[in-house]
Amino acid sequence: MKTELSRTLGIEHAIFGFTPFPAVAAALTRAGGFGVLGAVRYTAPEDLARDLDWMQEHTGGLPYGLDVVMPAKKVEAPENQTLTEAEVEAMIPEGHRAFVRATLAKHGVPELAEGEASGWRITGWMEQVARNQLDVAFDYPIKLLANALGSPPPDVVARAHDHGVLVAALAGSARHARHHAEAGIDIVVAQGYEAGGHTGEIASMVLTPEVVDAVAPLPVLAAGGIGSGEQIAAGLALGAQGVWLGSIWLTATEADLHSRALTAKLLAAGSGDTVRSRALTGKPARQLRTEWTDAWDDPAGPGTLPMPLQGLLVAEAVSRIQKYEIDPLLGTPVGQIVGRMNAERSVQQVVDELTRGFEKAVDRINRIAGRSDA
């Protein structure tokens, strides 16, 4: 499975994998794909450095990348002024905090122990945190820097290019994609409606070719709804130079969700058990539908706050829900392909299935096309 882009990066399969777990990213790179480590959960630069050290040791010189989150739209702040985390926290209305407490109380969610850190606290949405992550990342031989929300700032793009690092950005529409192209981005990830995490409303079947046309000759990766070799063949038939998979790795044996109950929920969920909700970050992100997402999506509730306020508001609550495995509330970002994630397998097994399924799909399409030589 080779495209111009996969040849440029020197990888065997044009399969890119986004994952918050270094063990998964490294395993995918070793399996001939391209692992991309999600950085958003690293608040402390030294934690990221530790995990990138580990990645270096476990990828044998094969290429991998890093994914940061720099929202294109920021919290309103006076010009040239960066708000501190405390100042941002102060913008959260008390009514919303009360709603969090009430929802947790309704389900009897215990408090964290005194002094116990909120493991799920995500501050990587904050530009300064992302910039600190980049200061670390550019010390490592990463080959790709991806940004999940909007085009990275011009100085970040320039810095990446100075380091010989390709820059990718996710796009949910052709308009986003054109904006990325104008910002000097090298690769556009077309993130369809069915994808896990932040996503728009245009499905991959329509979005992928639209983005390919919008940014040609820039390479496009198809993301959203891809978890099998047939789906890879479909994404590539739509003009992509590779595929970008996130959800499928959540049930890899190398993944560490810190919750067997959550893994069990993922293995049991069907394709209809996700929802696009602002509950987690303030922007629409596909995730398991739970009573937690229902509470935030309920018109009778207070509704969600804009990013990054919503993420800060719910961080401790999500940590408690995960720690105590409160089943009706327990969720995670995941795409509609969760319906196909029915067994835990190693990353290598997943890649083997993907490549075998791809070859079968190519056989099938050749039979339909009447290519006698196929």
For 86, half-sphere exposure in the C-beta direction (CA atoms, 13 angstrom radius) is: 0
Cα separation, 310 vs 323, whole angstroms? 20
Q: Which residue in the set 103, 147, 228, 287 belongs to the binding site for a copy of itself (CB under 8 A)?
A: 228
Q: Which residue in the set 9, 14, 24, 190 belongs to the binding site for a copy of itself (CB under 8 A)?
A: 14
**Number of residues binding to a copy of itself, judged by CB under 8 A:** 54
Positions 233 through 252 that interact with a copy of itself (CB under 8 A): 233-239
Q: Name the residue nearer to a copy of itself (CB basis): 311 or 335.
A: 335
Q: Which residue in the set 49, 92, 206, 257 belongs to the binding site for a copy of itself (CB under 8 A)?
A: 206
Relative to beta strand 187-191, strand 166-171 is parallel
Q: Which residue in the set 50, 159, 178, 340 belongs to the binding site for a copy of itself (CB under 8 A)?
A: 340
Q: Name the residue nearer to a copy of itself (CB basis): 163 or 360.
A: 360
Q: Which residue in the set 82, 118, 173, 253 belongs to the binding site for a copy of itself (CB under 8 A)?
A: 173
SS3 172: coil
Positions 275 through 304 that interact with a copy of itself (CB under 8 A): 299
Contacts of residue 371, defined as CB under 8 A and 6 or more positions apart, other chains included, come to: none
Q: Does 210 bind a copy of itself (CB under 8 A)?
A: yes
Residue 153 Cβ vs a copy of itself, minimum distance, rounded to whole Å = 26
Q: Name the residue nearer to a copy of itself (CB basis): 154 or 270.
A: 270
Q: Name the residue nearer to a copy of itself (CB basis): 192 or 282.
A: 192
Residue 34: CB atoms within 10 Å: 29
Q: Name the residue nearer to a copy of itself (CB basis): 150 or 235.
A: 235
Relative to beta strand 285-288, strand 274-277 is antiparallel
The amino acid that residue 291 corresponds to is: E
Evaluate whether 336 touches 271 at the Cβ level (below 8 Å): yes
Q: Does 75 bind a copy of itself (CB under 8 A)?
A: no
Q: Name the residue nearer to a copy of itself (CB basis): 85 or 230.
A: 230
Q: Does 218 bind a copy of itself (CB under 8 A)?
A: no
Cα separation, 110 vs 118, whole angstroms? 13
Cα separation, 118 vs 182, whole angstroms? 39
SS (H, E, C) 81-99: CCCCHHHHHCCCCHHHHHH
Contacts of residue 74, defined as CB under 8 A and 6 or more positions apart, other chains included, come to: 127
DSSP classification of residue 216: T
Q: Which residue in the set 85, 230, 297, 353 belongs to the binding site for a copy of itself (CB under 8 A)?
A: 230
Q: Does 193 bind a copy of itself (CB under 8 A)?
A: yes
Q: Name the residue nearer to a copy of itself (CB basis): 143 or 286.
A: 286
Long-range contacts of 353-356 (CB under 8 A, 24+ apart): 353/228, 353/229, 354/13, 354/15, 354/228, 354/229, 354/232, 355/1, 355/13, 355/229, 356/229
Q: Does 272 bind a copy of itself (CB under 8 A)?
A: yes
Give the footprint of a copy of itself on this chain (CB under 8 A): 1-3, 14, 173-174, 192-194, 200-207, 209-210, 224-226, 228, 230-231, 233-239, 270-272, 299, 335-337, 339-340, 358-359, 361-362, 364-366, 368-371, 373-374
